[in-house]
Amino acid sequence: MSVGFIGAGQLAHALVKGFTAAGVIATHRITASSPDKDLPTVTGLRKMGAYFTTSNKETVNKSDVLFLAVKPHIIPFVLDEIGPDIEDRHLIVSCAAGVTISSIEKKLLQYRPAPKVIRCMTNTPVVVREGATVYATGTHAEVEDGKLLEQLMASVGYCTEVEEDLIDAVTGLSGSGPAYAFLAVDALADGGVKMGLPRRLAVRLGAQALLGAAKMLLESEQHPGELKDNVASPGGATIHALHVMESGGFRSLLINAVEASCIRTRELQYLADQEKISPAAIKKTTLDKVLQQPGVTTTGVGVRTGLNLFNSNPKHKKN
Ligand SMILES: NC(=O)c1ccc[n+]([C@@H]2O[C@H](COP(=O)([O-])OP(=O)(O)OC[C@H]3O[C@@H](n4cnc5c(N)ncnc54)[C@H](OP(=O)(O)O)[C@@H]3O)[C@@H](O)[C@H]2O)c1
């Protein structure tokens, strides 16, 4: 079996690192593509021994399991590009937030009678093999296809099958969840620093407290509320702190955060359906289709379009 990634960003990098650490697939059987050769994630993939190409078609040709790891609004363009190259052996696994199985199947059915599609939602802790993944199988994917994906994803954390209509909520909870945890540790460390701890130690202790609490919860049969009660002794320091958190609306804030991420995820399918793309996101690999549309011209290395482009924030470069 060989594995390919269309898109060589944060998620692809995290998955390849996790798969490699798990020993579930040899890196020389992994191919990844993205238009930009100079991304830090591309350098990382190459260092790990994965094959990198700027051609999505080459990734398709070299792979059996094909992860779609591009931003949701890029998905329709990528599907139009790779659709003619999809064969019976290919299992298409979309990691894109909000993008539905039916929208992917609809695109691919233009090229093949029964494309095998799986939609999954994972998160970046796959890099340390502590990911949280759910997946739903498409109309033409077989039970064995689901099992194959489960084998891969379970090697880098928790993985379970769900009904597709739950996946947006999962995105709001565990897909975005690591960001909530990083914010929490950062804020906890600020508290420690305010009270005199050196920053490094404060961050370490905050992270360890979250890690330990999560492990205790996963290894016990107890409700999180019960575990919380166990550490709040009458009249003690912790119950005073918990009161402060409740007064600040801590629970509501987290509930609202999960809801906001879920609602935004649902909007992403709508954006993908528009098949409009910001100039910054137009890349060589999808340019052909974009260039065929009226009012689009290239100028040097950049691209100007007369299309009704949707607004996207300037790209936030990571790493
Ligand atoms: N990161 C997470 O925590 C996470 C969790 C769950 C699901 N996801 C999903 O995973 C997907 C990828 O997220 P990410 O965080 O890895 O994003 P990312 O870091 O921005 O990576 C996306 C990659 O796709 C590349 N790309 C852009 N246009 C392309 C094209 N036409 N063909 C091939 N590659 C292209 C990008 O290159 P450029 O940088 O040059 O544009 C970049 O390498 C998203 O759909 C997201 O919803 C992410």
56 is in an annotated binding site: yes
Candidates 34, 99, 286, 312: which one to mutate for ligand 1, based on the most atoms within 8 Å of Cβ? Answer: 34
DSSP at 27:
G
Instruction: Output phi, psi for 199, to 5 deg.
Output: -55, -50
CB 118 within 8 A of CB 137: yes
Residue 169: closest CA among 70, 258, 288, 298: 258
The span from the CA of 196 to the CA of 305, in Å, is 54
Q: Does residue 175 have its Cβ closer than 6 Å to ligand 1?
A: yes
Sequence-distant (≥ 6) Cβ neighbours of residue 72 within 8 angstroms: 96, 97, 98, 99, 268, 269, 271, 272
220 is in an annotated binding site: no
Residue 100: closest CA among 122, 82, 119: 119
Residue 138: closest CA among 74, 87, 93, 97: 93
Three-state DSSP class for residue 30:
strand
- Token pair listed for 131: 């990911």
* For range 170-192, the mean pLDDT: 98
Owner of token pair 């769900």 = 162
CATH fold of 3-167: Rossmann fold (3.40.50)
CA of 68 to the centre of ligand 1 (A): 8
The answer to whether residue 92 scores a pLDDT higher than 70 is yes
**pTM above threshold 0.75:** yes
Strands (E), the chain: 3-6, 30-33, 51-53, 65-68, 91-94, 116-121, 131-137, 157-161, 296-299, 302-305
The span from the CA of 88 to the CA of 143, in Å, is 15
The answer to whether residue 14 scores a pLDDT higher than 70 is yes
Give residue-wise pLDDT tens across range 251-289: 999 999 999 999 999 998 888 888 876 666 665 555 565
Question: 18-32, 205-219, 239-253, 299-313: lowest mean pLDDT where?
Answer: 299-313
For the chain, percent of residues with pLDDT exceeding 90: 83
CA of 79 to the centre of ligand 1 (A): 14
- Token pair listed for 224: 């999180």
Q: Does residue 119 have its Cβ closer than 6 Å to ligand 1?
A: no
CA of 78 to the centre of ligand 1 (A): 12
* For range 284-300, the mean pLDDT: 55
What atom of ligand 1 comes closest to residue 318's alpha carbon? 19
Confidence band of 292 (pLDDT split at 50, 70, 90) = low
Q: Which residue's CA is minimally distant from atom 1 of ligand 1? A: 11
Confidence band of 310 (pLDDT split at 50, 70, 90) = very low
Neighbours of 119 (CB within 10 A): 26
What atom of ligand 1 comes closest to residue 68's alpha carbon? 11
What atom of ligand 1 comes closest to residue 36's alpha carbon? 40
> What are 136's strand-pairing partners?
119
* For range 148-154, the mean pLDDT: 98
Three-state DSSP class for residue 69:
coil
The span from the CA of 244 to the CA of 284, in Å, is 52
Q: Could you tell me where in the chain the CATH 1.10.3730.10 domains are found?
A: 176-257
Q: Which residue's CA is minimally distant from atom 38 of ligand 1? A: 36
pLDDT of residue 6: 98
8 is in an annotated binding site: yes
Confidence band of 63 (pLDDT split at 50, 70, 90) = very high
Instruction: Output phi, psi for 105, to 5 deg.
Output: -60, -40
The span from the CA of 34 to the CA of 193, in Å, is 41
CB 45 within 8 A of CB 35: no
Candidates 11, 271, 282: which one to mutate for ligand 1, based on the most atoms within 8 Å of Cβ? Answer: 11
The span from the CA of 158 to the CA of 177, in Å, is 14
Three-state DSSP class for residue 181:
helix
CB 96 within 8 A of CB 70: yes
276 is in an annotated binding site: no
CB 41 within 8 A of CB 246: no
Q: Does residue 78 have its Cβ closer than 6 Å to ligand 1?
A: yes
pLDDT of residue 312: 37
Q: Does residue 13 have its Cβ closer than 6 Å to ligand 1?
A: no
pLDDT of residue 281: 62
Q: Does residue 261 have its Cβ closer than 6 Å to ligand 1?
A: no
CATH number of this structure's domain 176-257, picked from the four choices 1.10.3730.10, 3.40.1350.10, 3.40.50.720, 3.10.450.750: 1.10.3730.10
